[in-house]
Amino acid sequence: MAVNSPLPVAADLKPVAGIDIGYAEAGIKKPNRKDVLVMKLAEGATVAGVFTKNRFCAAPVQVSKANLEAVRAGGKPIRALVVNTGNANAGTGEPGLQNARATCAEAARLLGIDAQQVLPFSTGVILEPLPLQKIVAGLPAAVQNLKADNWFNAAEAIMTTDTQPKAASLTTTIGGHAVTLTGISKGAGMIKPNMATMLGYVAFDARVAQPVLDDLVKYAADRSFNCITIDGDTSTNDSFMLMATGAGTLVIDKAEGADYEALRDAVTGISTHLAQQIIRDGEGATKFITIAVEQGRDVEECRKIAYAIAHSPLVKTAFFASDPNLGRILAAIGYAGVDDLDTTKLDLYLDDVWVARAGGRNPDYKEEDGQRVMKQAEIVVRVLLGRGDADATVWTCDLSHDYVSINADYRS
Amino acid sequence: MAVNSPLPVAADLKPVAGIDIGYAEAGIKKPNRKDVLVMKLAEGATVAGVFTKNRFCAAPVQVSKANLEAVRAGGKPIRALVVNTGNANAGTGEPGLQNARATCAEAARLLGIDAQQVLPFSTGVILEPLPLQKIVAGLPAAVQNLKADNWFNAAEAIMTTDTQPKAASLTTTIGGHAVTLTGISKGAGMIKPNMATMLGYVAFDARVAQPVLDDLVKYAADRSFNCITIDGDTSTNDSFMLMATGAGTLVIDKAEGADYEALRDAVTGISTHLAQQIIRDGEGATKFITIAVEQGRDVEECRKIAYAIAHSPLVKTAFFASDPNLGRILAAIGYAGVDDLDTTKLDLYLDDVWVARAGGRNPDYKEEDGQRVMKQAEIVVRVLLGRGDADATVWTCDLSHDYVSINADYRS
Please give the ipTM for the structure prediction: 0.72
Spatial distance between the Cα atoms of B57 and A308, rounded to a whole number of angstroms: 16
SS3 B8: coil
pLDDT at B233: 60
CA distance A275 to chain B (A): 20
Instruction: Annotate B118-152 with b (16+ C-beta within 10 A) or e (fewer).
Output: bbbbbbbbbbbebbbebbbebbeebbeebeeebbb
B197 is catalytic: yes
Spatial distance between the Cα atoms of B200 and B225, rounded to a whole number of angstroms: 8
Backbone phi, psi, residue B55, to 5°: -65, -25
* Residue B396 half-sphere exposure toward CB, CA atoms < 13 A: 31
pLDDT at A327: 86
Residues shown for chain B: 412
Q: Return all residues near B152 (Cβ < 8 A) that are at least 6 apart.
A: B8, B9, B10, B13, B165, B167
Helix (H) or strand (E) holding B132: helix B132-144
Written as one letter, the residue type at A76 is K
* Residue A355 half-sphere exposure toward CB, CA atoms < 13 A: 29
Query: Do A356 and B126 count as a contact with CB atoms less than 8 A apart?
Result: no
Cα–Cα distance list, A347 to A295, A302, A350, B34, B98 (Å): 10, 14, 10, 35, 21
Instruction: Annotate A221-251 with b (16+ C-beta within 10 A) or e (fewer).
Output: bbbbbbbbbbbbbbbbbbbbbbbbbbbbebe
By the 8 A CB rule, do B295 and B386 touch?
Answer: yes
Task: Write the residue in A327, A400, A409 that is nearest to B321 by C-beta.
Answer: A409
Q: Is B190 exposed, middle or buried (0-12, 13-18, 19+ CB in 10 A)?
A: buried
By the 8 A CB rule, do B285 and B279 touch?
Answer: yes
Q: Which residues pair with B166 in a beta bridge?
A: B185
Residue B195, preceding peptide bond in cis (omega within 30° of 0)? yes
Which of B52, B54, B55 to mutate to test binding with chain A, by most A CBs within 10 Å of its CB?
Answer: B55
Query: Do B312 and A232 count as a contact with CB atoms less than 8 A apart?
Result: yes
Backbone phi, psi, residue B155, to 5°: -60, -35
Q: Which residues pair with A178 in a beta bridge?
A: A173
Task: Write the residue in A125, A231, A328 that is nearest to B327 by C-beta.
Answer: A125
Spatial distance between the Cα atoms of A116 and B277, rounded to a whole number of angstroms: 55
Query: Do A360 and B92 count as a contact with CB atoms less than 8 A apart?
Result: yes
Domains annotated for chain A, with CATH where assigned, are 10-280 (3.60.70.12), 288-409 (3.10.20.340)
Ranges in chain A, pLDDT < 70: 1, 188-197, 230-235, 409-412
Which of B291, B353, B305, B355 has its CA nearest to residue B327? Answer: B355
Q: Return all residues near A261 (Cβ < 8 A) that are at least 6 apart.
A: none
Chain A residues lying within 8 Å of B323, measured CB to CB? 408, 410-412
CA distance B310 to chain A (A): 12
Spatial distance between the Cα atoms of A301 and A307, rounded to a whole number of angstroms: 10
Residue B39, preceding peptide bond in cis (omega within 30° of 0)? no
Task: Write the residue in A127, A325, A334 that is nearest to B356 by C-beta.
Answer: A127
Query: Do A343 and B90 count as a contact with CB atoms less than 8 A apart?
Result: no
CA distance B61 to chain A (A): 14
Which of B233, B235, B316 to mutate to test binding with chain A, by most A CBs within 10 Å of its CB?
Answer: B233
Classify residue A147 by its DSSP letter: B
Secondary structure (DSSP) of B314-382? HHHHHHHTT---THHHHHHHHTSS-TT--GGG-EEEETTEEEEETTEE-TT--HHHHHHHHTSSEEEEE
CA distance A323 to chain B (A): 7
Written as one letter, the residue type at A55 is R
Query: Do B318 and A407 count as a contact with CB atoms less than 8 A apart?
Result: yes
pLDDT at A192: 42
10-residue block means of pLDDT along chain B (412 residues)? 77 94 96 96 93 86 96 95 93 93 98 98 89 97 97 93 89 94 78 53 94 94 83 72 94 95 94 88 88 96 93 89 90 89 94 93 94 95 97 91 76 48
Cα–Cα distance list, A327 to A404, B94, B101, B262, B402 (Å): 24, 16, 21, 41, 21
Which of B190, B314, B330 to mutate to test binding with chain A, by most A CBs within 10 Å of its CB?
Answer: B314
Q: Is A397 exposed, middle or buried (0-12, 13-18, 19+ CB in 10 A)?
A: buried
By the 8 A CB rule, do B22 and B206 touch?
Answer: no
Backbone phi, psi, residue B6, to 5°: -65, 145
Which of B301, B328, B357 to mutate to test binding with chain A, by most A CBs within 10 Å of its CB?
Answer: B328
Query: Do B330 and A236 count as a contact with CB atoms less than 8 A apart?
Result: yes
Q: Which residues pair with A20 in a beta bridge?
A: A40
Query: Do A399 and B400 count as a contact with CB atoms less than 8 A apart?
Result: no
Spatial distance between the Cα atoms of B205 and B403, rounded to a whole number of angstroms: 38
Q: Is A389 exposed, middle or buried (0-12, 13-18, 19+ CB in 10 A)?
A: exposed
SS3 A87: strand
Q: Which residues pair with B288 in a beta bridge?
A: B378, B397
Task: Write the residue in A57, A129, A317 that is nearest to B404 by C-beta.
Answer: A317
Spatial distance between the Cα atoms of B18 and B37, rounded to a whole number of angstroms: 17
State the virtual CA torsion across A109, A111, A112, A118 in degrees, nearest 10.
-80
Chain B residues lying within 8 Å of A231, measured CB to CB? 312-314
H-type alpha helices, A88-192? 93-111, 132-144, 151-157
Which of B361, B341, B195 has its CA nearest to residue B275? Answer: B195
Classify residue B265 by its DSSP letter: H
pTM of the predicted model, to two decimals? 0.80
CA distance A393 to chain B (A): 21
pLDDT at A331: 86
Spatial distance between the Cα atoms of A82 and A59, rounded to a whole number of angstroms: 13
* CA-CA-CA-CA torsion sign (B27, B30, B34, B35): negative
Cβ–Cβ pairs < 8 A, chains A and B: 220
CA B271 remoteness from chain centre: 8
In what order do the strands lie in the sheet containing B360-361? B360-361, B353-357, B347-350, B378-384, B288-296, B390-397
Query: Do B314 and A189 count as a contact with CB atoms less than 8 A apart?
Result: yes
Spatial distance between the Cα atoms of A283 and A114, rounded to a whole number of angstroms: 38
Query: Do B344 and A408 count as a contact with CB atoms less than 8 A apart?
Result: no
* CA-CA-CA-CA torsion sign (B109, B112, B118, B122): negative
Spatial distance between the Cα atoms of B48 and B242, rounded to a whole number of angstroms: 5
Name the active-site residue from A197, A245, A272, A396. Answer: A197
Determine how β-strand B347-350 pairs with β-strand B378-384. Answer: antiparallel
By the 8 A CB rule, do B107 and B87 touch?
Answer: no
By the 8 A CB rule, do B126 and B371 touch?
Answer: no
The CA-to-CA distance between both ends of chain A, in Å, stands at 21
CA distance B75 to chain A (A): 29
Query: Do B331 and A235 count as a contact with CB atoms less than 8 A apart?
Result: yes
